[in-house]
Amino acid sequence: MLRLEARAEPSRAMIYLSPVFALGLTLVAGVVLFEIMGVPAGDALYAFFIEPLSSLYGLTELGVKATPLILIGVALAIGFRANVWNIGAEGQLTLGAIFGGGVGLLLYDVDSKWVLPAMLLAAMLGGMLWAAIPAFLRTRFNTSEILVSLMLTYVATLLLSYLVHGPWRDPDGFNFPESRMFHDAASLPIIFPDSRLHIGFALALFVVVAAWFVISRTLIGFQIQVIGRAPRAGAYAGFSHKKLIWMTLLFAGAAAGLAGVIEVSGPIGQLLPSISPGYGFTAIIVAFVGRLHPVGVLLASLLMALSYLGGENAQISLNLPLAVTGVFQGLLLFMLLACDVLIRYRIRIGPIVSKIDAGNTA
Amino acid sequence: MGNRTLLKALCGTVAACLMSFIGVGMSHADEVTKVGFVYVGPVGDHGWTFRHDAGRKAVEAEFGDKVKTTYVESVNEGADAERVIRKLASSGHDLVFTTSFGFMNATAKVAKQFPKVKFEHATGYKRADNLSTYAARFYEGRAVIGNIAGHLTKTGIVGYVGSFPIPEVVRGINAFTIAMRKVNPNAVVKVVWVNSWYDPGTEGDAAKALIDQGADIIAQHTDSPAPLQVAEQRGVHGFGQASDMSAFAPKAQLTAIVDNWDSYYRDRTRAVMDGTWKSTDTWGGIASGMVEIAPYGDAVPDDVRADADAVAKAISTGELHPFQGPIVNQAGETVVPEGTTLSDEELLGMNWYVEGVQGELPK
């Protein structure tokens, strides 16, 4: 009989090495997969992981794709550490796009360097407002923030849909549901010429550093870690769980809102009925792959972004179907979970030891 | 980034550019024309994208070794589109088709950056010297299936699963309703919006809700066969969308409006090969073969087939326009008087319902 037995002390080194092992195992499984499909594995892996990064434009696109994942992933990771399960970052992102994009449309005729900062601030407020709803309901009525934040995502999508189908529709757009294109004053400055890499990427890197500092160097960060690992110990120490719920949710809302306005004022350039291919949800995966550590999240975001770029590239250069990208991402997560299990547990073969039975009946 | 790494990166870019130039030169020497397609859904949707991919295969079948086609499927209509289109343009493709409205601004932007590559955008309105637009007058097909629905509905209620309330879809609902009420003046159309082009689960749920409200025929402007499959299970009828979906609903499908891009894609590819490609705006209907009516199902009796055929024929010869007056809007006002028809411009921006459509158009 096969069973899992908890290890007394999971190895610290292994916790950080497990994503590396998982990536290695995914590559091995990928080689098998491609050989079965009749595609030379070397070509396929090259198309997936190397070719997208072989030009400066490719590198800048990696940054563009990873920016929303970094911003949201880092913020969610802090919440997850404090046992605050914000599943609705997608909705907070959408509200950020609505608030930030709304300011951009409101100031459509204004050509001032203050338009963009106003949009970014409005977007953070919008995201925080949306995150405040689950925070209030959780701290006041003990409602599950998982359900509330998740369901508010759909409300946010419909709100955006209403706005671009109605009041914010481009007057010269044949009634198609999209806003006007933002003017230069409402568009994010580009870091490299002839690319789409915008200052949002720099903002995301700043958030990584700030989050690392808060978590490891401040009292709040310490409280988050204590409450997350031992809620009762935190309570005895006089840490307010409610305060942390508010703080982590508002921070995630602000970060997701920022990600939203960065998408619409950066690569998209206007408001559309759908502005994100699920970054708010992908960021949950990214947060865990990155071990809930800001730098880990940064690396995980880049890896996840690379897998999307690689998927597109494999379709173009090798005519591989899109489903392969999905299988590949799924493999990576599966391997990561498997490695995690084996770090915390060891496999035992044989009947259950009688000592445990005796302990249970005693 | 240190100076040296920057220098390295620059060298790499220059080398990559040189290589791609050589690549382009070689492809011209071999006379191989590369054609790229950007799809909004999966090629297996059996609807919109499926038919565009059939067009791509028709290009390959026609020109064999002289073309190389590439496609990228399920491309998000937001930030990702520009990268994919640019990637196709920069990897030696001579002609790129972007097959969803949401790719318009991204296509226009990339077209400006790659003046030597030809672009074709489906269902949009932005054009340039190297950017054409093309679409099909699906509303002509809608008039034919509306006629069939008018003959065959017993409850007088037809359910319509809509994607987004954009002019294209509203035009289809109106053409359908006008033709239906010509043969059955009391029949009405109920619309449910699912806010997606391809979401089998939601599309199926919408069809169930419509059947529960008394609809005995389901029409759809979404891309999956799910509504038709629900119709099959519940013993009512429906129409296939974009392709012949009778395999999914052999009893339920009365007919289908089939998109046929084959000849357009072949012609445009040939034009690029000949060097005669010019930026154009194409809007083809039944007469041009872009819109086809699939074989009728067993549930359509002979007299109804004859009438539907007559409608299709009259539209293709120009005798009948699906939007010829008198047309009455929901408020009962005559918006198109007898003897006039709506112009293409008015059709392109249509945002009102005709009489007989229930509910308010979301705005």
CATH 3.30.70.20 fits B138-259+292-358, yes or no: no
Q: Angle formed by the axes of helices B104-113 and B80-90, to 10°?
A: 40
The pLDDT value recorded for residue B23 is: 42
* Beta-bridge partner residues of B220: B161
Q: Quick one: CATH architecture of B30-136?
A: 3-Layer(aba) Sandwich (3.40)
Structural contact between residues A81 and A215, judged by C-beta atoms closer than 8 angstroms: yes
Task: Reply yes or no on whether the pLDDT at A350 is more than 80.
Answer: no
Chain A and chain B share a number of CB contacts under 8 A equal to 99
Task: Reply yes or no on whether the pLDDT at A163 is more than 60.
Answer: yes
**Can you give the length of chain A in residues?**
362
Question: What is the rounded CA–CA span in Å between residue B112 and residue B108?
Answer: 6
Higher pLDDT, B329 or A332: B329
CA gyration radius, chain A: 23
Structural domain boundaries of chain A? 1-26+320-353, 58-288
Residue of A nearest to B351 (CA): A175
Mind listing the pLDDT tens digit of every residue in chain B (363 residues)? Answer: 444 444 454 444 444 444 444 444 444 445 799 999 999 999 988 889 999 999 999 999 999 999 999 999 999 988 899 999 999 999 999 999 999 988 999 999 999 999 999 999 999 889 999 999 999 999 999 999 999 999 999 999 999 999 988 889 999 999 999 999 999 999 999 999 998 888 999 999 999 999 999 999 999 999 899 999 999 999 999 999 999 999 999 999 999 999 999 999 999 999 999 999 999 999 999 999 999 999 999 999 999 999 999 999 999 999 999 999 899 999 999 999 999 999 998 998 898 999 999 988 876
* CB-CB neighbors (< 8 A) of B12 in chain A: 54-56
Highest mean pLDDT (candidates A53-62, A92-101, A233-242): A92-101
Residue whose C-alpha is closest to residue A180's, from A193, A199, A167, A194: A167
The pLDDT value recorded for residue A353 is: 59
B30-136 and B138-259+292-358: same fold? yes
Task: Reply yes or no on whether the pLDDT at A341 is more than 90.
Answer: no
The pLDDT value recorded for residue B58 is: 97
Give the mean pLDDT of chain A.
90
* CB-CB neighbors (< 8 A) of B80 in chain A: 65, 277, 308, 312
ipTM of the complex, rounded to two decimals: 0.85
Sheet holding B33-38, edge to edge: B67-72, B33-38, B95-98, B118-122, B131-136, B281-284
Structural domain boundaries of chain B? 30-136, 138-259+292-358
B299 contact A CB<8A:
no
Over residues A5-49, the pLDDT tens digits come to 888 777 778 777 888 888 899 889 989 988 888 888 889 889 989
Amino acid at A272: L
8-state DSSP, B343: -
Question: What is the rounded CA–CA span in Å between residue B208 and residue B161?
Answer: 10
Structural contact between residues A283 and A77, judged by C-beta atoms closer than 8 angstroms: no
Distance from CA of A175 to the nearest CA of B (A): 6
Residue whose C-alpha is closest to residue A93's, from A265, A207, A254, A246: A254
The pLDDT value recorded for residue A175 is: 75
Question: What is the rounded CA–CA span in Å between residue A72 and residue A98?
Answer: 17
* Beta-bridge partner residues of B118: B95
The pLDDT value recorded for residue A156 is: 97
Dihedral class, residue B74 (left if φ above 0, else alpha if ψ from -120 to 50, else beta)? left
Question: What is the rounded CA–CA span in Å between residue A333 and residue B239?
Answer: 41
A179 contact B CB<8A:
no
The pLDDT value recorded for residue B10 is: 47
The pLDDT value recorded for residue A323 is: 87
The pLDDT value recorded for residue A359 is: 44
Task: Reply yes or no on whether the pLDDT at A355 is more than 80.
Answer: no
| Whole-Å CA distances, B272 to A139, A194, B34, B96, B107 | 64, 27, 10, 11, 18
A175 contact B CB<8A:
yes
The pLDDT value recorded for residue B27 is: 43
Residue whose C-alpha is closest to residue A302's, from A56, A22, A70, A76: A70
A56, A176, A276 ranked by CB distance to B78: nearest: A276
Q: Do A64 and B79 touch (CB under 8 A)?
A: yes
Amino acid at A71: L
Structural contact between residues B114 and B24, judged by C-beta atoms closer than 8 angstroms: no
Distance from CA of B58 to the nearest CA of A (A): 17
Over residues A244-259, the pLDDT tens digits come to 999 999 999 999 999 9
The tokens of B272 are what? 């690029």
A196 contact B CB<8A:
yes
Q: Residue B328: exposed, middle, or buried by beta-carbon count in 10 A (0-12, 13-18, 19+)?
A: middle
